[in-house]
Amino acid sequence: MKSEALIVTGPGLEMDTMFVNLGPQHPSTHGVLRLGLTLAGEVITKAFPDIGYLHRGTEKLMEARNYHQCVILTDRWDYCSAMPNNLAFCLSAEKLMAVAIPPRAQALRVIMCELNRIASHLIFLGTYGIDIGAFTPFLYAFREREMILDLYEKCCGARLTYNYIRLGGVAADIDSDWVAKCREFLEYFKPRLDEYDTLLSFNPIFLARTQEVGLIPKEAAVGWGLSGPNLRGSGVSYDVRKSEPYCGYEAYDFDVPVGTHGSCWDRYFCRVQEMRQSVRILEAALTKLPSGELMAKGLAKVPRPPAGEAYAHVEASRGDLGIYLVSDGGVAPYRIHVRAPCFINLAILQEILIGKKVADVIAVLGSFDIVLGEVDR
């Protein structure tokens, strides 16, 4: 974007810079993120994202816990969408143990993760609207999210940190009543997506604030290791569900929406379109839900995966969530590393904020959809 600010240079005309702390307690930083901004007038000359305020050391904690206890800790990374966290951890451990997951459990994992994607993108839609100054969409988004949380509560008892996907399968079954309720939700939700488009996506004020702001070219997006809707917003069609299908995603028919020039609006609209695709996946999964077991047979109560290393990654709501797991044959993981998409997505801020005006910082930051629980782990 062409900067409208005029910076006068010349002898005796040097501009004083000002240092502004944005956060860590600020409603628009979506958690405890601190941005140290150096400003020349209204224009940012240096940006320093400061993280770690929510660092709980889960990777270390897991080294002294058994695998079932670790699943509980995974919920605490991306707490807005905890199901894919459970899934990524379980997939990596199951890879080491070479367990075959029953088909019904596979389908349930897909259903829960896609519902979580919708719930998580709804939070984004609502809070991004608020960041830009549109309060109303937030109320609509949370009305719909509430219905998903009710579905979760009915199935596994929890609304935020589920611990639902377990080693070898899933914790609880769904009945026909749940399936009917879920279908009811999908039917209710589809027209709501059109409503969001009229309310927010194509709102002229919203477009003006986001369409030309925070541009990330394709090469920069790949070079900085962005993933998820942030990468796809820049026009790179990379989705782990397509590139390395897990849980039988290859059997579902869905598209990977991509943006055109990597603006805040492209990232936003990728997420909105992803919700439509999730609805498609959910409808297919509910229709051909297989019957059978929920848990793999022959899994020890306290698993001891054979010594070795495994890497498994999933397309979580916010990007490519990878788990690198090292086992030394003991009951606790010897080492676990989380490739946290939010952490890696956030690093590009120090580059793209330079030259932007202060008023655009919130629009850019919000468009990355970060959850500090995952940034800091």
Using alpha carbons, select from 96, 107, 121 the residue that is nearest to residue 249. 107
Of all residues in the chain, what percent are helix, strand and coil, respectively (each to 5)? 50, 15, 40
CA distance 55 to 125: 26
Asked whether position 334 contacts another protein by CB under 8 A, the answer is yes
Residue from 55, 143, 190, 297 touching another protein (CB under 8 A): that is: 55
How close are the terminal C-alpha atoms of the chain, in Å? Answer: 34
Provide the minimum distance between the beta carbon of 107 and another protein in the complex, in angstroms, as a whole number: 22
User: Which uninterrupted H or E stretch holds 17?
Assistant: strand 17-22
Kindly state the number of chain residues that form the binding site for another protein, as judged by CB under 8 A.
53
Beta partners for residue 339, in sequence order: 322
Q: Are 346 and 368 in contact (CB under 8 A)?
A: yes
Q: How far is the CB of 296 from another protein (least distance, A)?
A: 18
Rule CB under 8 A: is residue 330 a binding residue for another protein?
A: yes
Instruction: Based on the shown chain and the rule CB under 8 A, indicate whether residue 327 belongs to the binding site for another protein.
Output: yes
Minimum gap (Å) between residue 350 Cβ and another protein: 8
Task: Name which position in 326, 354, 355, 358 contacts another protein (CB under 8 A).
Answer: 326
Least CB distance to another protein at residue 237 (A): 9
Task: Convert residues 275-314 into a mask of x (bound to another protein by CB under 8 A) and - (unbound).
Answer: ---------------------------x-x-xxxxxx---
Q: Tell whether the torsion through CA atoms of 230, 231, 237 and 238 is positive or negative.
A: negative
Considering only the stretches 4-12, 116-124, 262-270, 340-348, report the one whose residues sit in contact with another protein under the rule CB under 8 A. 340-348
* Tokens 């999964």 found at: 285
Residues 337 and 323: their CA atoms lie apart, in Å, by 6
Least distance CB 328 / another protein (angstroms): 5
Distance CA 96, CA 326 (A): 9
Contact set with another protein (CB under 8 A): 51-52, 55, 57, 59-61, 63-66, 95-96, 219-220, 222-225, 236, 238, 243-244, 302, 304, 306-311, 320, 322, 324, 326-332, 334-335, 337, 339, 343-344, 346-348, 351, 376-377
